[in-house]
Structure formats: structure tokens, C-alpha cells
Amino acid sequence: MTPVRTLLITGTSGAGRTTVATATAVAAARTGSRTLLLTRDRQDVAELLAAAGAGPLAEEGAVPGTDGLYLALADPATAFQDGLLDLQDRLGSLLGLLGAAPLDPEEVTPVPGAGALALLTTLRRAQVIGETSDWDLVVVDLPPVREAVGLLALPEQLRRYLRRLLPADRQAARALRPVLAQLAGVPMPAEWAYDAAARADRELAAVQAVIEHQDTAVTVVLEPGPAAARALATARTGLALYGHRLAAVTANRLLPTTSQDPFLAGLSAHQQDHLKALAGQCAADGVPLLELPHLGREPHDPVELALPVPETGPRAAEPWTVDEHLADQGQFIWSLPLPGAGRDSLDLVRRGDELVVDAGGFRRIVPLPSALRRCTVAGAALRDGVLRVRFTPDPELWPR
């Protein structure tokens, strides 16, 4: 079976992320690729697909009028309701003992953040469908950059929380639960807690596997302007911190450079200056900068703003490397690529066998490689987009 490629599209608010995602999905379907478009914005997508000749859309499934194109919607309300009611069913006996009245489906409303979880859940379900239906491409319309980076980091973070709250070495206590239940006279909730945690970990691991797969690529859509360079730097830092790759950057709504109108010519020149700043960041990372024109109107057909799907390929399991310099410098150097990061937004804390890294407003807690766990942090420096942390062997822990 042909591997399913996944294209994750994010960018700044108002830069045309949803439009570009829809255009790319339509263009791919028209070339014969079985394509799935995953979005939270049904209204905008429906209008764009109507311009492409699509008929009325169902909630999910094949898009009428565009062979090979399918739609999947991330519904935060439904996802949150299903998850909460499932948890309520699992806690039924305990809630009854506490005298708690069960919630009715009609009174459940999503909380902030439910949209992110719904998108992850739908992405996982889409890939399951894709494996059985043989999608060629899944295009995901992600939220703006900062939210999108946090979303991609969420599976790893939640799995870490689960391991801390319900560590594997405590599961031996399961043998005592029947005895404790008889002594207490009530069902013990530990069993369902471990079962729920194990199921959640499997689901999160499946989502993480999709996000980190070698055939998954991230594209950032920007409209060149004062905020675009900052947004791109944020995306570069956040994606690198969590081990994701930026495959391409798209500059959208570019004005023509040949306009005879003085006002438009001035706007175009100003836009070109910002475009050069984006090009410099892309060149530093070896990432292609794609350009899409300003149409001066709504697209008559989404393919007017279609992206080429970036090439994907094998990726390293971990982009951070440890270099040994014991003979000449008496230390190890742990190199962490953090393109776009600034010293003013960077912080490091050693916490046991982990390193807490804050960069660009994002945080990741990284387990130290085994050799570095027996070392102390001697210093760190950020140079040329790479954070280098120096470790010296701890005499009390290092073999003589």
C-alpha cells in the first residue's frame, strides 16, 4: 500500500491558511490523488469548494463534484461531549456512591482547548480511514502558528503526564485491589484509572506517530508584513524544539512588482522588503520559500492558490546530538538546533535526569542521554541557531 502523506498547514491569522489548505487539497484530487481535507472551518471551506464546483457538503465524506476529494471535520463540541460522557460511564458506580447526579448530553458544552483535542482525534481517525481506504494525501488545516506548535507538542506532553501520574511500577498494586475492595465495601477506582490511562496513552501514541512520521510535512503560510518574520521565527523555534520539520514557507497575497500605480508600487516595494526577511530565514534552514499572488478578489477556483506538496523523506529519530570531547576539553557537548530562537527568550533548568528547555515561549522537558545523567551542567551558549550545552563528568558518579 502507498504510504499516506500528511501536509500540516499553519500560519498567521488572516494569511489564508484555510484557503491554501483547501486549494492544495482540490489540486491534489484533480491530479488523481485520493485526498482528505481535515479542517475545523466548515463555512469557509464550503464557500471555497462551491467555487470549485462542489455541491452541498455533508458533514463528512466525499465532496460532490470533485472526484477523489473527501472532507473530515473536527467538531470540538462532539469530541468533548463523547469524551466526558465516556468518562462519566466509567465512573458511574463511584459517582453514585458520592450522590452525584449524572450529566445529560444536552448540558455538556466544550471547554477552551477542546478544539485542539478534537483536531488530534480527527487526525488519528482520518489516518485509520486512510490506511483502509488508501488515501494518497491528508491535508490538515491547522490553527495559527503558536497554537499549532502547541497542538503538535500535545501528545508527547500528555503522555509524559500520564507516566508521572500512573507510573508503570505502581501497577503491581493491582493484585491488592480485590482485597481492598472487600475491606472497603466499595468498588476501587484504581482499575479503571489504569485502564483509561493505558487507552489514552495508546491513542496519544498513535497521534504522535502520525505527526512524527517521515511522510508528514509542515508548511507555514504568511502574508509578508511586519508580523510575518516574527511568526516565522516562532514557528522555526517551536517546531525544532519539539523535533518537527518545517518543509516549506508560503508567502501569500504578493502584489505585482510591475504596477504603474505609485500607491500600489509603494506597497509592493514595502512587501518585497518583508519578503526578503522571510527568504533569509528560509535560506538559513534550507527551506523553500513559495510565492502565491494577490488575486485582488476571492479565488474563482481554489487551485489558483494551490501549493505543491513538499517532498518528504527519512528523518532522524532525534535531531539533538551529543559530542564527546573528554580527551581535549574534559566535557560533553549536547547540541540542540533552535533556529529563530533569541537569547532573551531562552532558559535552561536541569531537573534530575531531565533538561527543561524554554525557547520562544515554548517549553519541552527532555530526558538526558545516559552518559549526561552522570554529569553536571558546565554552561550553555546559543550560536548560529544551535544551543550547545556543556556537561562535565561528575567525579562521584563517573567511573575512574
Tens-place pLDDT, residues 262-296: 888 889 899 999 999 999 999 998 899 999 988 87
Residue 100 has pLDDT above 70, yes or no: no
d(CA 144, CA 220): 9
Worst-scoring range by mean pLDDT, 87-96, 241-250, 319-328? 87-96
pLDDT at 339: 92
pLDDT at 175: 53
d(CA 187, CA 232): 52
Q: Any idea how long the chain is? A: 400
Residue 162 has pLDDT above 60, yes or no: yes
Structure confidence at residue 97 as a pLDDT band (50, 70, 90) = very low
The residue that leads in pLDDT, 365 or 303, is: 365
Structure confidence at residue 208 as a pLDDT band (50, 70, 90) = confident
Cell output for 262: 505609485
Structure confidence at residue 108 as a pLDDT band (50, 70, 90) = very low
d(CA 273, CA 5): 34
Nearest to 254 by CA among 229, 225, 277, 283: 225
Cell output for 336: 540542540
Q: Which CATH architecture has domain 5-77+108-305?
A: 3-Layer(aba) Sandwich (3.40)
d(CA 228, CA 221): 9
* DSSP for residue 368: P
pLDDT at 95: 46
pLDDT at 392: 93
d(CA 335, CA 391): 11
321-393 has CATH 2.60.40.790 classification:
yes
d(CA 67, CA 47): 18
Handedness of CA 358, 18, 307, 253 (dihedral sign): negative
The residue that leads in pLDDT, 323 or 87, is: 323
Question: What's the chain's Rg over C-alpha atoms?
Answer: 25
For range 100-104, the mean pLDDT: 54
pLDDT at 12: 94
Q: CA neighbours within 13 Å on the CB side: how many for 357?
A: 31
pLDDT at 61: 79
For range 74-81, the mean pLDDT: 56
Structure confidence at residue 103 as a pLDDT band (50, 70, 90) = low
Residue with cell 533569509: 280
For range 374-395, the mean pLDDT: 91
Phi–psi pair at 385, nearest 5 degrees: 75, 15
Q: Any bridge partners for residue 70, and if so which?
A: 36, 62
Domain ranges (residues) in the chain: 5-77+108-305, 321-393
**What is the chain's mean pLDDT, rounded?**
79
The beta-strand segments (E) located in 66-204 are 69-73, 137-141
Residue 143: what residue type?
Answer: P
pLDDT at 313: 55
pLDDT at 316: 47
The three-point CA angle 145-150-155 to 5° equals 140
Distance of CA 174 to the CA centre of its chain: 35
What element of type H or E holds 202?
Answer: helix 190-211
pLDDT at 98: 47
pLDDT at 238: 94
d(CA 266, CA 261): 9
